[in-house]
Amino acid sequence: MEQSLYEKVGGEEAIGKVVDYFYDELVLKDPTVNQFFKDTDMEKQRRHQTKFISFALGGPNQYSGNSMAKAHQGMNIQPEHFDAIVRHLHKALAHFGVSENDIDQALTKVATLRDDIMYK
């Protein structure tokens, strides 16, 4: 039986490290998207993001946050913002040695959320 992306990446603990790097080194330093997190409880955000990405990569469904549309309501996220987040996720996964093939699979799953996130 083939491993899920979740297992290949190393499970929730490894995804947590990816999420920390994603925010600390990429998203929060990027002026095109960091304003969306100005008033965000980042510890809560990291927990939600770790559980969400874990589920999106084939791990257990522990995500209990809002729907993507509701979570992004009122943010008016534009294509350039969504694309920047996707680029940062790609860089974070690559930084931790995830293969390009596996990154492509993960980002394909993220792309399915585009309509639920943008222009809300």
Domain boundaries defined on the chain:
5-117
Level-2 CATH architecture, domain 5-117: Orthogonal Bundle (1.10)
Whether pLDDT at 44 is above 90: yes
pLDDT tens, 64-116?
A: 667 878 888 888 899 999 999 999 999 999 999 999 998 998 899 889 888 98
Q: Are 54 and 60 in contact (CB under 8 A)?
A: yes
Out of 11-20, 38-47, 63-72, 73-82, which region has the weakest mean confidence (pLDDT)? 63-72
Q: How far apart are CA 91 and CA 97, in angstroms?
A: 10
**Nearest-angstrom CA–CA distance, 70 and 74:** 9
**90 annotated binding-site participant:** no
How confident is the model over 49-72, as a mean pLDDT? 80
pTM, rounded to two decimals = 0.88
81 is in an annotated binding site: no
By the 8 A CB rule, do 14 and 62 touch? no
pLDDT at 28: 97
Nearest alpha carbon to residue 26 among 72, 91, 83, 77: 91
